[in-house]
Amino acid sequence: MSLYDVAVIGSGPGGYVAAIRCAQLGMKTAIIEKYSTLGGTCLNVGCIPSKALLDSSHHYDDAVKHFEDHGIEVPGEIKVNLEKMISRKNNVVDMTTKGINFLMDKNKIDVFEGLGSFKDATHIDIKKIDGTTDTIEAKNTIIATGSKPSTLPFITLDKERVITSTEALQLKEVPKHMLVIGGGVIGLELGQVYKRLGAEVTVIEYMDKIIPGMDGALSKELMKSLKKQKVKFALSHKVKSVERNGDEVTVTADNKKGEEVSFTGDYCLVAVGRHAYTEGLNLEAAGVQLEERGRVAVNEHLQTNVSNIYAIGDVIKGAMLAHKAEEEGTLVAEILAGQKPHIDYNLIPGVVYTWPEVAAVGKTEEQLKEAGVAYKSGSFPMRALGRSRASGDIDGFVKILADKNTDEVLGVHMIGARVADLIAEGVTAMEFRASAEDIARMSHAHPTYAEAVKEAALAATEDRAIHV
Ligand SMILES: Cc1cc2nc3c(=O)[nH]c(=O)nc-3n(C[C@H](O)[C@H](O)[C@H](O)COP(=O)(O)OP(=O)(O)OC[C@H]3O[C@@H](n4cnc5c(N)ncnc54)[C@H](O)[C@@H]3O)c2cc1C
164 lines ligand 1 (CB under 6 A): no
Contact criterion met (CB below 8 Å) for 281 and 9: yes
Superfamily per CATH, domain 2-149+275-343? FAD/NAD(P)-binding domain (3.50.50.60)
Q: Spell out the domain ranges in the chain.
A: 2-149+275-343, 162-272, 349-460
Please tell me the distance from the alpha carbon of residue 384 to that of residue 394, in angstroms, as a whole number: 8
Please tell me the distance from the alpha carbon of residue 59 to that of residue 417, in angstroms, as a whole number: 14
Name the residue with the closest Cα to ligand 1, atom 53. 46
CA 186 to centroid of ligand 1, rounded, Å: 13
Residue type at 7 in one-letter notation: A
Domain 349-460 has CATH 3.40.50.300: no
444 assigned to active site:
no
The ligand 1 atom nearest the CA atom of 274: 53
Q: Which of 59, 66, 446, 467 is catalytic?
A: 446
Please tell me the distance from the alpha carbon of residue 278 to that of residue 314, in angstroms, as a whole number: 11
Name the residue with the closest Cα to ligand 1, atom 20. 322
191 lines ligand 1 (CB under 6 A): no
Along the 468 residues of the chain, how does pLDDT read in single tens digits? 899 999 999 999 999 999 999 999 999 999 999 999 999 999 999 999 999 999 999 999 999 999 999 999 999 999 999 999 999 999 999 999 999 999 999 999 999 999 999 999 999 999 999 999 999 999 999 999 999 999 999 999 999 999 999 999 999 999 999 999 999 999 999 999 999 999 999 999 999 999 999 999 999 999 999 999 999 999 999 999 999 999 999 999 999 999 999 999 999 999 999 999 999 999 999 999 999 889 999 999 999 999 999 999 999 999 999 999 999 999 999 999 999 999 999 999 999 999 999 999 999 999 999 999 999 999 999 999 999 999 999 999 999 999 999 999 999 999 999 999 999 999 999 999 999 999 999 999 999 999 999 999 999 998 777 887
Contact criterion met (CB below 8 Å) for 185 and 219: no
Contact criterion met (CB below 8 Å) for 106 and 19: no
Distance from chain centroid for Cα 197: 22
- The pTM of the full predicted model, rounded to 2 decimals, is 0.97
Assess whether the region 162-272 and the region 349-460 belong to the same CATH fold: no
Please tell me the distance from the alpha carbon of residue 203 to that of residue 235, in angstroms, as a whole number: 8
Please tell me the distance from the alpha carbon of residue 12 to that of residue 42, in angstroms, as a whole number: 6
28 lines ligand 1 (CB under 6 A): no
CA 147 to centroid of ligand 1, rounded, Å: 6
Which DSSP string corresponds to 5-51?
EEEEE--SHHHHHHHHHHHHTT--EEEEESSSSSSHHHHHHSHHHHH
321 lines ligand 1 (CB under 6 A): yes
317 lines ligand 1 (CB under 6 A): no
Domain 162-272 has CATH 3.50.50.60: yes
